[in-house]
Structure 1
Amino acid sequence: MEFEKRRQSSKKRKKHSWRFRIIMILFVLLLAAGGAFWFNRQGYQAKNPNDTAVTMVTVKDKASVKEIGAQLQKEGIIRNSRYFVSYANKYGAKDIAGGTYPLSQVQDIAEIYQELTEGSGAEPVLSSGYTFISNTKTAEQTAQTIADAAGVSKSDLLAAYSDSDLIAQAKKEYPQLFLNAKSDQTLYDFVYPGIYRFKKEKSAKDLVMTMLKQTNKTLKPYYAQLKANKIPASTAILLAENGGKKEFDRRLAFIKKIAPYSQSLQSQYGILASISIAQAIHESNWDDSALSSKYNNYYGVKTDDTTAGKSVVLQTQEVENGQTVTKNARFAVYDSYQDSMKAHAKTIANGNTWNANQFADVLAAKNYKDAAQALSTDGYATDPSYPKLIIQIIENWNLAQYDKN
């Protein structure tokens, strides 16, 4: 009798044990399924909602969604490329146009995909709570967007940009940001383009200081170079949507490369070094044109010489009767950038075959502003805005420092 009771008790324990095991297995399976669902859902969400930094991503034309996904993962914009590929395929895998896009870790997969399908030049697609400020727009153009996002008055915001007391406070708090600044600049000129997340600002002045704080943080890697070369922070800010720090370094390296030789040419031929450098920058698009990078022609010099290796025919744009027209033209080919710069200096100094004094006013100018204007009046350039462009380049990059031999 006792034995039978023990046997029945043992059977009950085994039965309960199997039930417990089954329940535990089901529980583990549910946890795994839930974890997989959560992890899969996380893959489509923003990688870091708190990192508002913008990365300019250049997508090749006709790139596949798989290639683009891999690129976005490599750039650190998304967690895993498979989520982008899955989303793109689910929603028709629309053609994504090649171009450069401002992207951020605060964007989820859907927002990134939408931006890429809108085409190059599109602003970041953002969820509520985030605001994008572009340096292609004026303070007036962006004021309402910023004011709405932060819950302040548009007129108060515009007034804050020029408030003398606030400017004094900003200069005291962020002295490096305002080093070498122009006297006529407002605080909006020091707002770094990008994504902002406004939270606790109670007034327009608080809002402006929040934006300047983010600008100061972003520009810290630039400050040593800006100070050493006496370049205003606004120059770095202008490059925010055109390559950022990498492009800033490339452009500064180009200046450092040709500046010593431009000073040598100033001593020999009398053309201001700042003018030689600025024209080389403008004509070659910072040594990014085919004419300069392949053929060492920094100034767009044309020629009638058809000797092999001495010239090349390329398309060019010129202003005729106020209209920009595209033409084919034959351009000179040089063995080195020094040869190109020397030929340019000799042209300014010696004029041309029909007028040896063609550019006498350029040589006579005692400062870069007069010299830039003389380039137009003496017939060097057909574009009426040419002097202004040259002056802007000189002032943005403090090229006048090289005029002092």
Structure 2
Amino acid sequence: MELEFNKRLKKNKKKHPVRNIILIILALLIVGGASALYVNHRGYSAKNPDDMSLTEVKVSSSDSISQVGKKLQKKGLIRNERYLTRYAKRYGAKSIKSGTYLFSPVQSIDNVYEELAQGPEETPVLDSGYTYIDGNKTAAQTAGTMADAANVSKTDLLKAYSDKDLIKEMKEKYPKLFLNAKSDLTLYDLVMPGIYKLKDEKSADALVRDLIKRTNKEMKDYYPELKSNGIPVSTAVLLAENGGKTEFDRRLAFIKKIASYAQQLKKDYGILPSISIAQAIHESNWDDSALSSKYNNFYGVKTDDTTTGKSVVLETQEVENGVTVTKKARFAVYASYKDSMKAHAKTLVNGNTWNANQFKDVIAATNYKDAAQALYDDSYATDPNYPAAIIRIIQNWNLVQYDK
């Protein structure tokens, strides 16, 4: 029987060679298609579902979807730019909005594409299972999201942040986290902004313990510099979604660069170094503005000089009648940052052409809080929030140490 079956099989192979070849080809196509489907699925999925770090990516109005994909690939956020390009072609290209985005390796290609379409002002688009905590939001604003994700009470979570016994417990377990801390510090001030993969917790206290544990782990590289410069940990925490350690080091280096000259200006003109430094930080956005980085103008000093070539016309934002408006203005150009700082000190001391005592209250102030308020009262700044911004910078970076 078996011998007869084999004979018939050989006979069929000889009798239908074309059909057999077609069947083989179809089988190969099915296997190949399945393989291609697997590769595409893997390419569209998150590059690393466990890497919840955030990376800034700047997208310009002239960038194509392919160019954006190359930026993301270069920063290690997606596997290959072609997956983003294919996705856009397959589901219909949307208008990409320019700006600075936050992306993470936990985002799939569809997450990335949706975020590019919605714009940089929104929060990162994430799959379910991930929770994003915005560092610009208060404890009350994020409590609902975190409580739902961890399956705990929102009310209990808000209480846990300020619970004295829990604060004491965390302080004993992670003493370095509390170095240079403000007296009104809450545990929410030590919660790292960013992406979390929260699990069900037994209680709100247990959730907070896990949050603080993560902060301590991520802050270890910061501790030496925070301690030596008297800077609170909460300052570094705020930078978690804005450049992290790299940005922290850059900002600290900027302070170190101008601090000694600010102290010299105090001897020569009586300006508090903390004010000189904080204003330079605020006006130049940490030396990240074109006016400061290209033209050494740290304080947004304007000029009417159009003949010497020591000026440039740029756009600026000002507050008029409580409304922020964008204008073009002519700004001074300096040969060095020291020239800019000296000009700023002279302006405060000598006033302007119509009032030599314009900034007398700034000069007379003996502490940074009074000096910061005087900058607004004496009309150096038009924004009513300016004093608070200057004070916050001084306190966050312990700039008062340079006043001593």
Query: Same-fold call, TM > 0.5?
Result: yes
The 5 Å alignment of 1:190-209 reads 190-209=190-209
Please identify, of 238-247 and 176-185, the stretch whose mean Cα deviation from structure 2 is larger: 238-247
- 1:170 to partner: Cα distance: 1.5
Q: How many angstroms apart in 2 are the aligned matches of 1:259 and 1:322? A: 33
Name the aligned partner's letter for residue 229 of structure 1: N
Matched, 1:310 2:331: no
Q: How many angstroms apart in 2 are the aligned matches of 1:216 and 1:26? A: 57
Q: Percent identity?
A: 66
Matched, 1:397 2:397: yes
After superposition, the Cα gap between the structure-2 partners of 1:28 and 1:321, relative to the gap in structure 1 and judged at 3 Å, is: closer
After superposition, the Cα gap between the structure-2 partners of 1:28 and 1:384, relative to the gap in structure 1 and judged at 3 Å, is: closer
Post-superposition Cα deviations, 1:190-226, rounded to whole Å, max 9, x if no partner, equal 1111111112421111111112222222223322222
Post-superposition Cα deviations, 1:128-168, rounded to whole Å, max 9, x if no partner, equal 21111111211111111111111111101111111111111
Q: How many angstroms apart in 1 are the aligned matches of 2:327 and 2:70? A: 40
- 1:34 to partner: Cα distance: 4.5
Q: How many angstroms apart in 1 are the aligned matches of 2:277 and 2:375? A: 14
- 1:324 to partner: Cα distance: 3.3
The 5 Å alignment of 1:5-404 reads 34-404=34-404
Q: How many angstroms apart in 1 are the aligned matches of 2:106 and 2:338? A: 47
- 8 Å CA contact 1:314–1:329 kept in 2: the answer is yes
Name the aligned partner's letter for residue 273 of structure 1: P
Name the aligned partner's letter for residue 342 of structure 1: K
Q: How many angstroms apart in 2 are the aligned matches of 1:112 and 1:302? A: 41
- 8 Å CA contact 2:178–2:233 kept in 1: the answer is yes
Aligned to 1:5: none
After superposition, the Cα gap between the structure-2 partners of 1:40 and 1:364, relative to the gap in structure 1 and judged at 3 Å, is: same
Name the aligned partner's letter for residue 350 of structure 2: N
Please identify, of 385-394 and 27-36, the stretch whose mean Cα deviation from structure 2 is larger: 27-36
Please identify, of 42-51 and 155-164, the stretch whose mean Cα deviation from structure 2 is larger: 42-51
Q: TM-score, normalised by structure 2?
A: 0.88
After superposition, the Cα gap between the structure-2 partners of 1:284 and 1:118, relative to the gap in structure 1 and judged at 3 Å, is: same
Structure 1: 5+ residue stretches without partners: 1-7
- 8 Å CA contact 1:196–1:211 kept in 2: the answer is no
Structure 2: 5+ residue stretches without partners: 15-20
Q: How many angstroms apart in 1 are the aligned matches of 2:77 and 2:88? A: 16
Q: How many angstroms apart in 2 are the aligned matches of 1:346 and 1:82? A: 56
Q: How many angstroms apart in 2 are the aligned matches of 1:304 and 1:62? A: 34
Q: How many angstroms apart in 1 are the aligned matches of 2:322 and 2:179? A: 39
- 1:15 to partner: Cα distance: 5.7
Name the aligned partner's letter for residue 103 of structure 2: L
Q: How many angstroms apart in 2 are the aligned matches of 1:274 and 1:163? A: 34
Please identify, of 229-238 and 316-325, the stretch whose mean Cα deviation from structure 2 is larger: 316-325
- 1:371 to partner: Cα distance: 1.7
SS at match of 2:57: strand
- 8 Å CA contact 2:149–2:200 kept in 1: the answer is no
Post-superposition Cα deviations, 1:299-322, rounded to whole Å, max 9, x if no partner, equal 222233332213333333333443
Aligned to 1:4: none
Name the aligned partner's letter for residue 123 of structure 2: E
- 1:345 to partner: Cα distance: 1.2
Q: How many angstroms apart in 2 are the aligned matches of 1:321 and 1:44? A: 49
After superposition, the Cα gap between the structure-2 partners of 1:306 and 1:49, relative to the gap in structure 1 and judged at 3 Å, is: closer
- 8 Å CA contact 2:151–2:200 kept in 1: the answer is no
- 8 Å CA contact 2:313–2:329 kept in 1: the answer is yes
Name the aligned partner's letter for residue 141 of structure 2: Q
- 8 Å CA contact 2:57–2:102 kept in 1: the answer is yes
SS at match of 1:143: helix
- 8 Å CA contact 1:62–1:97 kept in 2: the answer is no
SS at match of 2:102: strand
- 1:334 to partner: Cα distance: 1.6
Q: How many angstroms apart in 2 are the aligned matches of 1:364 and 1:200? A: 56
After superposition, the Cα gap between the structure-2 partners of 1:106 and 1:128, relative to the gap in structure 1 and judged at 3 Å, is: same
Name the aligned partner's letter for residue 358 of structure 2: Q
- 8 Å CA contact 1:161–1:187 kept in 2: the answer is yes
Count of aligned pairs = 394
- 1:25 to partner: Cα distance: 11
SS at match of 1:382: coil
SS at match of 1:176: helix
Q: How many angstroms apart in 2 are the aligned matches of 1:245 and 1:294? A: 25
- 1:400 to partner: Cα distance: 0.8
SS at match of 2:394: helix
Q: How many angstroms apart in 1 are the aligned matches of 2:388 and 2:362? A: 15
Q: How many angstroms apart in 1 are the aligned matches of 2:331 and 2:68? A: 38
- 8 Å CA contact 1:310–1:334 kept in 2: the answer is yes
Q: What RMSD, in angstroms, separates the aligned Cα atoms of the two structures?
A: 2.8
Q: How many angstroms apart in 1 are the aligned matches of 2:381 and 2:38? A: 63
- 8 Å CA contact 1:62–1:96 kept in 2: the answer is no
- 1:338 to partner: Cα distance: 0.8
Aligned to 2:17: none
